[in-house]
Amino acid sequence: AFGGKLDALVCSAGGSSSLEDPKAMAEFGGVSKEAFMNMYALNCVSKVVAVAAAEAALLAAGGAVVHVSSVSSVIPNDTWMGYSSAMAALDHVVKSQAIGYAGRGVRVNGVNPAVIVTALTETMAKGVGTSVAEAFSPMHPMKRVGTVQETSEAIAFLADNSKSAFITGTCLMVDGGGAVSTWWTADKMK
């Protein structure tokens, strides 16, 4: 936002706790009920609340909203059920908000990254004695993981009214082909 106007709102809060409570696997699809609800609150509800809070500024500026979702939203996985279903709900929010705001001059889109090299994913990989690239590159059809820059460039494109003015309600996969493969569940299908 420059000069007091909101050109774009990027809603990128997110996370998962599905691996934190292994005892809950039999309880509620891999997570406790509380953790499941918290995943929805963080990954979906918080973004709806953010857009509602920024609505007046977005309408005044003809701004754009970009929600950061995940390729997990379109790939069922029993060990990430809470996270992936919350992201699927977010993808539906993207489409619903796009319909609601389209006639009022605000575009709403989503970006759905797969595994991206970040401090968090590197820490997770080190916990099992490897790197993000070693652990996840073979699972992506492009045989590599993504970068923060690749994801941020997709976000910037969708946020820019001069470059994507006729795009609304889309969820752009930034996933190295992950959404069109079975890489998340291939080991379970053997």
Catalytic residue among 30, 35, 75, 83: 83
| Known active-site residue 40 | no
CA angle 52, 72, 78 (to 5 degrees): 120
Task: Give the DSSP H or E segment for 45.
Answer: none
Distance CA 176, CA 141 (A): 6
Distance CA 153, CA 116 (A): 13
Torsion sign over Cα 75, 118, 17, 156: negative
Q: Which of 117, 171, 123, 180 is nearest to 144 (CA)?
A: 117
Which residues in 68-96 are b (16+ Cβ under 10 Å) and which e? bbbbbbbbeeebbbbbbbbbbbbbebbbe
Which residues are the active-site residues?
Answer: 83
